[in-house]
Structure 1
Amino acid sequence: MPTALDIVLVPGLWLDASTFDKVSPALEAAGHEVTALTLPGMDAKETDRTGITVADHIAAVVAALDAADRPVLLVGHSAGCGLAHAAIDARPETVARVVHVGGFPGADGEPLLSGLPAENGEVPMPDWAEMGEDANIVDFEADQLKALYADAIPVPEHVVTDPVRLTDERRYAVPATMVCPEYTAADLQEWVKAGDLPEVSKINSVSYVDLPGGHWPQITQPDALARVLLDAADEVN
Structure 2
Amino acid sequence: MTDQLTSPPILLVAGHWLGAWAWDDVLAHLSPDARVTAVTLPGLDAGDPERATRTLDDQALAIRDALESLGASTDGPAIVVAHSGANGPVSIVLDRHPELVRRVIWVDSGPMASGSAFAPELPDTVAELPLPPFDVLSQQASLDGVDAEHLDRFRARAVPQPAPVLREQVVLTDDARHAVPTTLVCCSISGEQVMAMARGGHPMFAEVSRLQQVDVVDLPTGHWPMWSTARELAEVIETEAARAH
Pairwise same-fold verdict (TM > 0.5):
yes
1:13 and 2:16 aligned: yes
Residue 159 of structure 1, CA deviation: 0.7
Distance 1:86 1:55 in 2: 8
Cα 1:144/1:48, change in 2 over 3 Å: same
For residues 69-99 of structure 1, the C-alpha deviation after alignment (integer angstroms, 9 at most, x for no partner) is: 2430001000112322211111111110000
Distance 1:194 1:44 in 2: 40
Q: How does 1:204-219 map to 2 (within 5 A)?
A: 204-219=212-227
1:232 and 2:234 aligned: no
Distance 2:29 2:125 in 1: 38
Distance 1:221 1:45 in 2: 29
Q: How does 1:129-140 map to 2 (within 5 A)?
A: 129-130=135-136, 133=139, 136-140=142-146
Q: Work out whether residues 6 and 34 of structure 1, in 8 Å CA contact, stay in contact via their aligned partners in 2.
A: yes
Aligned residue pairs total: 236
Q: Work out whether residues 41 and 47 of structure 1, in 8 Å CA contact, stay in contact via their aligned partners in 2.
A: no
| Match among 60, 74, 77 for residue 80 of structure 2 | 74
Q: Work out whether residues 80 and 105 of structure 2, in 8 Å CA contact, stay in contact via their aligned partners in 1.
A: yes
Cα 1:161/1:144, change in 2 over 3 Å: same
Aligned to 2:67: 65
1:199 and 2:201 aligned: no
| Match among 38, 43, 46 for residue 36 of structure 1 | 38
| Match among 150, 153, 159 for residue 153 of structure 1 | 159
* Letter of the structure 1 residue corresponding to residue 66 of structure 2: A
Aligned to 2:174: 168
Residue 54 of structure 1, CA deviation: 1.1
TM-score (norm. length: structure 1): 0.91
Cα 1:131/1:152, change in 2 over 3 Å: closer
Aligned to 2:187: 181
Cα 1:218/1:177, change in 2 over 3 Å: same
Aligned to 1:105: 111
Distance 2:81 2:36 in 1: 11
Residue 158 of structure 1, CA deviation: 0.3
> Unpaired runs of 5+ in structure 1?
none
Identity of aligned residues (%): 35
Secondary structure (helix, strand or coil) at the match of 1:27 reads coil
Measured on the aligned residues, the alpha-carbon RMSD in Å equals: 2.1
Aligned to 2:55: 53
